[in-house]
Structure 1
Amino acid sequence: MHRRHSLPLLLVAASLSFASAGLRAQDLATTCQASSSYDLTLQPSQLLFDRPQPAPFHVELHDGNLRTDGTPVALKAEDQDRLALFERELRALAPRAKAVARHGADMLAQAVRAEAGNLGLGADTMTELNRRLDARVAELKQRIDASNSTRDWQGDLAEQYANQVAGDLLPVLAGDLGQQAIQAAMSGDMQAAASLRDRASDLATQLRPRLERRMQALRPEIQALCPSIRQLAELQQGVRGGGGQALNLVQIAQ
């Protein structure tokens, strides 16, 4: 069965993937070993969990009340209390995860600037890079702030956005290196020209691992979310939906 991230982890992972202009950072879900087969949407009045298969396909939570596939589920008082706490804890976790995601976007922007600073780029190039990078980070943060559903970050959307960012930023860096190569060739330094051309052509693959190493600094912030996510998994244990099936809204790998 295909598993998707729960909302908090997915927001963090999406921030890293998008803001890095295609950077394939490590699978952050492994940090907390948490996943879900459901899409999650946070609405003001309830939590909605949806998946194409298997049943239950739709799960609704509101103040300890449970509906599966449109049918109310009679629960013991203890289970109602557990689900009410589950909802409160998940709602409290979402803004914490968004804060990590926003910080991840800032860290990646700083990492890109630091790496660009090591390329000997011209002042005009750095100005243009900073302008584009600031615009992309602001756009990403707006998406993070507005998002209340894992559906906002699914499938090809992440890849398409990452490719757009890469297409916006990398040519600025490569273009400057290419210009440096031309100037070196005109001055007769063919070795330097060849080296600069190689750096320009290999920029994307060389930059990626360096950014990944810099982004390891975000791991402690992600790890700080893990106890709350594990608590969510514990709160749902023993609660049965329609037909007596375990909810399994959040899974923790053993």
Structure 2
Amino acid sequence: MRHLALACAAALALAAPAADAHQGVQISSEECGFSTPYDVRIGPSGLALTREDGAPSEVLIHDGVLRIDGAALATGAADALRLRRIEAGARALMPQVAAIAREAVDIAFDAFAAVIEGMTGSTSRIERIQEFRASALARVDASLGDGVWDQDLFDEAFAADIEAAAEEFAGSMVRSALWTVLLPGGEGRLERRLAAMEADLDTRMEARADELETRADALCEEVAALHALQESLEIRLDGGAPLRLIEMTAAPAVAAAGQDEGR
């Protein structure tokens, strides 16, 4: 039973670094204390926001013009300028989010590769890791990289790529670890290998994860600025309601600092 427990511990060690890399920086609209019910598409026709539930269901912002469910709303010069700034800010934000997502993928799969090589001393499985990495990066490029943010679908797919890799390699890692502990002195070697691998990964990955989190935090200031511009809009929807594309879910410092922008 102790042999099996050590083998299972090795398999868990494989999944943990990548899971930590994924959880360390959430690719989520709520990460900065803001949220949006909309999916976002940015292209030549402008900044398009859509949702299945709630009203308005479609919002299009382009070159200072606002369309709500297909109908253009009259805007003054000040609001037209704010709308242009909102569109420009969203266009600038999306590539940065895509870059953060790509780095999170790289951290996760670098951790996988390090664990496999550290546990087995073999690089033969690294090619398969690169296939998983390429698939995950292609998903980022086809969504965020192309100006498309379908938040629920993206979050699910992002986690699924990592989980699929962990499941595929966990079995082979259990077999490799079990073979090691069955050899004379194998238990001690496996325990030392696991301890050394954990320490090495902590050193190498923690700095990268911290840097990535710092980059993600910096984007929160840009999100807060977009929220402040939205709050300063004089446009009102039918019934007198203000336009609400971004909602504040908490009161982060960056949100408080950006409240006066655009007023």
Q: TM-score, normalised by structure 1?
A: 0.71
Matched, 1:178 2:175: yes
* SS, match of residue 245 in structure 2: coil
CA, structure 1 residues 179+227, in 2 after alignment: closer, same or farther (shift >3 Å)? closer
CA, structure 1 residues 136+111, in 2 after alignment: closer, same or farther (shift >3 Å)? same
Q: After superposition, where does 1:148-167 map in structure 2 within 5 Å? A: 148-151=147-150, 153-155=151-153, 158-159=155-156, 162-163=159-160, 165-167=162-164
CA, structure 1 residues 165+174, in 2 after alignment: closer, same or farther (shift >3 Å)? same
Report the counterpart of residue 89 of structure 1 in structure 2.
89
Report the counterpart of residue 38 of structure 2 in structure 1.
38
CA distance in 2, matches of 1:216, 1:29: 20
1:104 Cα offset (Å): 1.9
CA, structure 1 residues 41+85, in 2 after alignment: closer, same or farther (shift >3 Å)? same
CA-to-aligned-CA distance 1:31-72 (integer Å, 9 cap, x gap):
421210111111211111112332211111110101111221
CA, structure 1 residues 167+32, in 2 after alignment: closer, same or farther (shift >3 Å)? closer
CA distance in 2, matches of 1:225, 1:190: 48
CA contact (8 A) 1:132 1:169 kept: no
* SS, match of residue 246 in structure 1: coil
Q: Which range is displaced more, 233-242 or 67-76? A: 233-242
Report the counterpart of residue 165 of structure 2 in structure 1.
168
1:26 Cα offset (Å): 5.9
Report the counterpart of residue 49 of structure 1 in structure 2.
49
Q: After superposition, where does 1:101-140 map in structure 2 within 5 Å? A: 101-117=101-117, 119-123=118-122, 126-128=123-125, 130-140=126-136
CA distance in 1, matches of 2:103, 2:68: 36
CA distance in 2, matches of 1:142, 1:191: 40
CA-to-aligned-CA distance 1:163-205 (integer Å, 9 cap, x gap):
45433344435414423423543x4668669x88xx9xxxxxx
Matched, 1:246 2:246: no
RMSD: 3.3
CA distance in 2, matches of 1:219, 1:104: 10
CA, structure 1 residues 86+190, in 2 after alignment: closer, same or farther (shift >3 Å)? closer
Matched, 1:224 2:218: yes
CA, structure 1 residues 213+251, in 2 after alignment: closer, same or farther (shift >3 Å)? farther
Q: TM-score, normalised by structure 2?
A: 0.69
Identity of aligned residues (%): 27
Structure 1's unaligned 5+ residue stretches are 1-18, 200-206
Report the counterpart of residue 197 of structure 2 in structure 1.
none
Structure 2's unaligned 5+ residue stretches are 1-16, 195-200, 252-263
Q: After superposition, where does 1:62-101 map in structure 2 within 5 Å? A: 62-101=62-101
